[in-house]
Structure 1
Amino acid sequence: MGPVNYFLGFEVKRNNSSLLLTQTKYAHDLLEKAKMEYSKPCVTPMALGTKLGKEIRDLFDQPTLYQSIVGGLQYLTLSKPDIAFTVNKLSQFLQNPTVLHWTACKRVLWYIKGTLKYGLVFKPHKFLHLEAYVDADWASDINDHRSTCGYAMFLGDNLVQWSSKSKKWCPYPLLKLNTRH
């Protein structure tokens, strides 16, 4: 069948020294769905100091659009871990999205617009070492004081596992794990 170039929304690009996984077409289709394919890009997925809450005023008039776009963004985190924290926050408001939540969602889409061709790069290494980074925002949710905990694990310089989840209590402390083999 030959080398894979496109599979389940992922583009695979190879050269002599690396492999690049992107979801450029999927991201572009998501921008079209939101009617934002001609929007201007921004440099961060979330504005500094943004606090999203579950207030029930100013409800967004197209909740199914919000739910669909956030679901699409969740799939996009498979190749864009830089949006995982923000998408986690947005997914907490699927029941009753407000205009503020939709504005924050559009911000992620503006960021996606500017990073369409970004993805995960995998390169071979002579020495494989495992590094893990963990962080938490320690009860910053303004409604229930839950924490958002996240981690990133690297094998060599290759990001191989990551997560961002809302939890009542974060089981792992702030740390950097570094093992070399």
Structure 2
Amino acid sequence: MDVHNAFLHGDLNEEIYMDIPPGYNIHKEQIEGEKLVCKLNKSLYGLKQTSRQWFSKFSNSLTSIGFQQSKSDYSLFTKVSQKGFTTLLVYVDDIIVGGDSQDEIDSLQTYLHSKFKLKDLGPLKYFLGLEVAKSSSGINFCQRKYTLETLEDAGLLGTKTVSTPIELNHRLSHTTNEILQDPTAYRRLIGRLIYLTITRPDITYVVNVLSQFMDKPSQTHMHSAYRVLRYLKGSIGQGIFLLSRSPLHLKAYSDSDWAACPEIRRSVTSFCVFIEDSLVSWKSKKQVTVSRSSAEAEYRALATTSCEIVWLPSLLKEFNINHEQSALLFCDNQAAIHITRNPIFHRRTKHIELDCHFVREKVLAGVITPVHIASKFQLADIFTKALSSSVFQFLLSKMGILNIYVHLEGSLTK
């Protein structure tokens, strides 16, 4: 499948009206009996409706030539014709075009060029900070350049490296000691790290923790953020590797850390979803309510993971891929698995009735098959808590995370 990257400039001609700006000088006799307004010939940058008008014009242009807008992701457009399958993914005015027919891709580019000012950047190699490398084995995504820029911005290009992104048994919490006078640098750094989690699932947990202190960060929080950079320094080119040839079977790992928050005792939900051995989705988030038991926390995590499992087959269907077999959902809590199969609501689970109904419905429908797994093989554990270096590296090796620059250097040495 050929994939191209492009940049668009829009020219909107829709008639949009706004009130006369405050302070605009006009004689009173001109406004008696009527309301004068300023007519815009096109949307202006900074207006709330500008982005919406832009996307409406762009999507209407695509649907007029046979593209279908995805119901699973409104930024995705697909088209099936006699010549082949074509897909387009848009982010504001940057787009990726892919398909199995070069003629269809060329025809789409010609059409877009006639409607917009289009700049073709050629085969996909770099997109919004993501570096893409393709081979016969698969596709690798990393953010090496963005990581280097982040290290340079923080002045840590020459720092020593560490083997884990966060200290074991950390107790980070809100504190009134050593509050940063200017939190701008901390917020900017955490914002950069959040964007890095697109291809770096290994820092998802620590970024989730550090982002909870954006209101009043302390010097301790800043040191923990710098530790993440020291970890990234030792694995700059690390990213996700998607295999080109593997069975299309969804597998998910669900886990939680009961009462993990030391302040409000809420648990952490985490999951990771694979298409066979390729990692495609992951999450680490504090639960919105306090769970009264570890089984309840695990079951709430199962409900969140089930939502992701239900969504992914509908997204695959947009690519003409039918996933009809049951997805495997791995959990290391036997009590939570029993709740998915037991039709009787017990006293200790009646307050989580909605989650019970949702998960059990998907299990009975054959969409999900819960499977017990030993805790030491629970891959989602990497998103719930700080781990020792050996356990962290073991779980990371099972997730299809690859540093292609290390492999390239090794092959050149040999």
- Structure 2-normalised TM-score? 0.42
CA deviation after TM superposition for structure 1 residue 167, in Å: 1.5
**Which residue matches 2:245?**
125
TM-align CA RMSD: 1.7
Of 259, 275, 282 in structure 2, the residue corresponding to residue 155 of structure 1 is: 275
Which stretch has the larger CA shift, 164-173 or 83-92? 164-173
Distance 2:201 2:232 in 1: 12
Percent identity for Structure 1 against Structure 2: 37
CA distance 1:127–1:97, change in 2 (3 Å): same
Matched to 1:133, the amino acid is Y
Of 187, 197, 207 in structure 2, the residue corresponding to residue 67 of structure 1 is: 187
CA deviation after TM superposition for structure 1 residue 126, in Å: 4.1
Which stretch has the larger CA shift, 31-40 or 81-90? 31-40
Q: How does 1:1-150 map to 2 (within 5 A)?
A: 1=120, 2-150=122-270
Count of residue pairs brought into register by the alignment: 179
Matched to 2:270, the amino acid is G
Which one has more relative contact order, counting CA pairs under 8 Å at least 6 apart? 1
Of 160, 172, 175 in structure 1, the residue corresponding to residue 301 of structure 2 is: 172
* Unaligned stretches of 5+ residues in structure 1: none
Distance 2:253 2:242 in 1: 18
CA deviation after TM superposition for structure 1 residue 168, in Å: 3.1
Distance 2:238 2:165 in 1: 14
Distance 1:40 1:32 in 2: 14
Moved over 6 A (4+): none
- Deviations, residues 110-168 of structure 1 (Å, cap 9, x unaligned): 11111111001011234221110111111111111122211100001110011111123
Task: Give 3-state SS (helix, strand or coil) of 1:111's partner.
Answer: helix
Asked whether the equivalents of residues 190 and 225 of structure 2 are also in contact (C-alpha less than 8 Å), the reply is: yes
Distance 1:9 1:126 in 2: 27
Distance 1:113 1:148 in 2: 27
Asked whether the equivalents of residues 147 and 236 of structure 2 are also in contact (C-alpha less than 8 Å), the reply is: yes
Distance 2:167 2:279 in 1: 25
Task: Give 3-state SS (helix, strand or coil) of 1:119's partner.
Answer: strand
- Deviations, residues 14-70 of structure 1 (Å, cap 9, x unaligned): 122111100000011111111111111111011101110101111134411000000
Distance 1:108 1:78 in 2: 15
Matched to 2:281, the amino acid is Q
Task: Give 3-state SS (helix, strand or coil) of 2:123's partner.
Answer: coil
* Unaligned stretches of 5+ residues in structure 2: 1-119, 290-296, 306-328, 332-367, 370-414
Matched to 1:143, the amino acid is E
Distance 2:213 2:154 in 1: 18
Task: Give 3-state SS (helix, strand or coil) of 2:146's partner.
Answer: helix
Distance 1:31 1:148 in 2: 29
Distance 2:130 2:183 in 1: 27
Distance 1:152 1:41 in 2: 27
Task: Give 3-state SS (helix, strand or coil) of 2:251's partner.
Answer: strand
Asked whether the equivalents of residues 125 and 156 of structure 1 are also in contact (C-alpha less than 8 Å), the reply is: no
Asked whether the equivalents of residues 151 and 229 of structure 2 are also in contact (C-alpha less than 8 Å), the reply is: yes
Distance 1:67 1:172 in 2: 28
- Structure 1-normalised TM-score? 0.93
